[in-house]
Amino acid sequence: MPAAQSADKTLRRARQASKAGNWAQAVALYQGVLARFPANTRARREFEALRPAGLPALLASAQAAQAAGGWAEAERDLSAAAVLAPEMLEVGLALAACRLEMGRAPAALRAAEAVLALAPTHPGALNARGRALREMGRGTEAEDSFKAALGDAATEAQSLNNLGILARGRGEREAAAGYFRRALALAPTNAALHRNLAQAITYDAETAHLGEMRARLAAAGPDDPGSAPLHFALFKALDDLDRRDEGFAHLEKANRLTRAARGYDFKTDALPYALTKAVFATPVPALDRPPEPGQPRAIFVTGLPRTGTTLTERILSRAPGTQACGELTVVQLAAGRLLRSVVERADKTLTAEDLAGMGAEIRAGLAEYSDGSPVLIDKMPLNFRWIGFLCATLPEARIVHLNRDPMATAWSIYRHDFAGAGHGFAYDPADIARFMVLHREAMAHWRRIYPDRVFELDYGDLVGDTERATRALAAAVGLTWTEDWLTPERAASQILTASAEQARRPIYRGSDAGWQRYAAQLGPLRAALTAAGVL
């Protein structure tokens, strides 16, 4: 009887949610009842009755959320819509795409495979599956999925582009360039494809692609919002040719267009940090809850972007029993979800239950990427924002923080076109300077309240005295140092970030001075850093 009463109570809540237009909540409640009582005909009948009104409302809500950048809300609504109409392939594809945008590759893989279970040769689902597998480090399976998608005219350029990105991540530049050229032959107006090809080749005076890009830009117009990737590509080409003034003009245009398109507001970065600092005004004691048997121990490599996090990950991956996972969003999603919950409370405080739940969420999220290795490396640089959460929830985790010359860091940030929406600060000198101040203040705070949890690694030391620096790194993260740590260029893991070329070379000095080639053009950037007190 108690179970039946519980079902009746849940059904009443589901009806109330439906009447109020809370369709996602109604779907979840009905699904909960049907999971426990599959033969409950009343629950089944009422659930099926949701579809006529609920499905259009959920799809409209998801579309509006996506347009506003509300990916969590869009995922919620698309997940409910996929439950209501599992046979609608376009809903499953939209859900997979939304999860990829959020950096939730394992969940995107599940959505894509649900579509493929109904339509095994669907090229859109094969591409979504391949992208998810690529993000999870399962390159061979990703390649098979992309190749299986080839042959469909509507998605051929997309499939070729995906194969090119995978090849470049593996260090196969010639193969990557071939895929990008084939894709451009089908979609010559696609600015992102031009940028991808530019990153895969080295230009000389005879390279025809430079003229092709100029012609494409002339046709589109220099102020076309969609031409930003083309300007980034032209900067890369002209930088190869050492035509600095001309190239830098394209870089400035690329950054202005990107910043305008993203509508960046520094408050979007400053507010979560301020809330986190308030929550961690004093040290929050770490939970004494070790991971479950079989769960990997995590090493988090953090810092500003372009400070050597990829190089450090590859050095660490030379140790047996480690898995390099690239830049995961697991911590960011968990921290954001918990912060939103805390903000809604009157006292704005964390509880032991909060921390236990977040620790379990992070461990479960990391486990979805694990290949069974005992140590997993997450090199998401911007996790420096959540170090307090990591210290409080994962006592077994090791945290590494990279430091690098500020001018070299700022220049490297400014010259790169970052994937995803988390780097909105990167496209304007004043925003870069303000974000670097935010980073400096955040790290000062974490060092003060968790003085023994973060290992500071200087990029100059790493490349200048590699053996000494890596021996200290090994001791700090609990791994055994060998001479393999001195040859990160031999690491087998893929690189899907902007560091793909640099990190495949043997360790070299001199990159910190690279900005000096553009010293004449970088007056505004240097002035912004000086005014902010960064220099």
The residues pairing with 456 across neighbouring beta strands, listed in sequence order, are 401
- What's residue 208's pLDDT? 96
- What's residue 502's pLDDT? 64
Domains of the chain: 150-263 (1.25.40.10), 268-512 (3.40.50.300)
Long-range contacts, stretch 188-192, CB < 8 angstroms, 24+ apart: 188/212, 188/216, 189/216, 189/219, 189/220, 190/157, 191/216, 191/220, 191/226, 191/227, 191/228, 191/229, 191/230, 191/233, 192/161, 192/229
Question: pLDDT tens for residues 152-191?
Answer: 999 999 999 999 999 999 999 999 999 999 999 999 999 9
In the structure, what pLDDT confidence band is assigned to residue 348 with cuts at 50, 70 and 90? confident
Question: pLDDT tens for residues 317-336?
Answer: 999 999 999 999 999 999 99
What the block records as the tokens of 291 is: 């991971």
> What is the C-alpha R_g of the chain?
24
- What's residue 287's pLDDT? 80
Quick check: 338 and 354 in contact, CB under 8 A? Answer: yes
Q: At what angle do helices 244-262 and 228-240 cross, to 10 degrees?
A: 160
Distances (CA, A) of 528 to 165, 440, 522: 34, 15, 10
- What's residue 67's pLDDT? 87
Mean per-residue pLDDT over the chain, rounded: 93
Q: At what angle do helices 89-101 and 105-118 cross, to 10 degrees?
A: 160
- What's residue 367's pLDDT? 95
Least confident of 80-94, 133-147, 291-305, 364-378: 291-305
- What's residue 291's pLDDT? 77
- Report DSSP letters for 431-481, one per residue: HHHHHHHHHHHHHHHHHHHSTTTEEEEEHHHHHHSHHHHHHHHHHHHT---
Nearest CA to 253 among 434, 431, 427, 435?
A: 427
- What's residue 2's pLDDT? 47
**181 by DSSP, 3-state: which?**
helix
In the structure, what pLDDT confidence band is assigned to residue 373 with cuts at 50, 70 and 90? very high
The residues pairing with 399 across neighbouring beta strands, listed in sequence order, are 300, 454
Average pLDDT over residues 22-31: 95
- What's residue 360's pLDDT? 94
Quick check: 94 and 63 in contact, CB under 8 A? Answer: no
In the structure, what pLDDT confidence band is assigned to residue 37 with cuts at 50, 70 and 90? very high
What the block records as the tokens of 348 is: 């704005």
Distances (CA, A) of 214 to 179, 210, 222: 21, 6, 10
In the structure, what pLDDT confidence band is assigned to residue 1 with cuts at 50, 70 and 90? very low
Question: pLDDT tens for residues 392-451?
Answer: 999 999 999 999 999 999 999 999 999 877 899 999 999 999 999 999 999 999 999 999
Average pLDDT over residues 68-87: 94
What the block records as the tokens of 304 is: 């500003």
Question: pLDDT tens for residues 473-521?
Answer: 999 999 999 999 999 998 888 777 666 666 666 776 778 888 999 999 9
| Distance separating alpha carbons of residues 435 and 265, to the nearest angstrom | 11
What the block records as the tokens of 89 is: 């392939």
Specify the pTM. Answer: 0.93
Nearest CA to 247 among 235, 229, 256, 236?
A: 235
Q: In what order do the strands lie in the sheet with 297-302?
A: 322-324, 375-378, 297-302, 398-403, 454-458
In the structure, what pLDDT confidence band is assigned to residue 77 with cuts at 50, 70 and 90? very high
Quick check: 411 and 515 in contact, CB under 8 A? Answer: yes
Quick check: 449 and 466 in contact, CB under 8 A? Answer: no
How many C-beta atoms lie closer than 10 Å to residue 68's C-beta? 10
Tell me 266's DSSP state: T
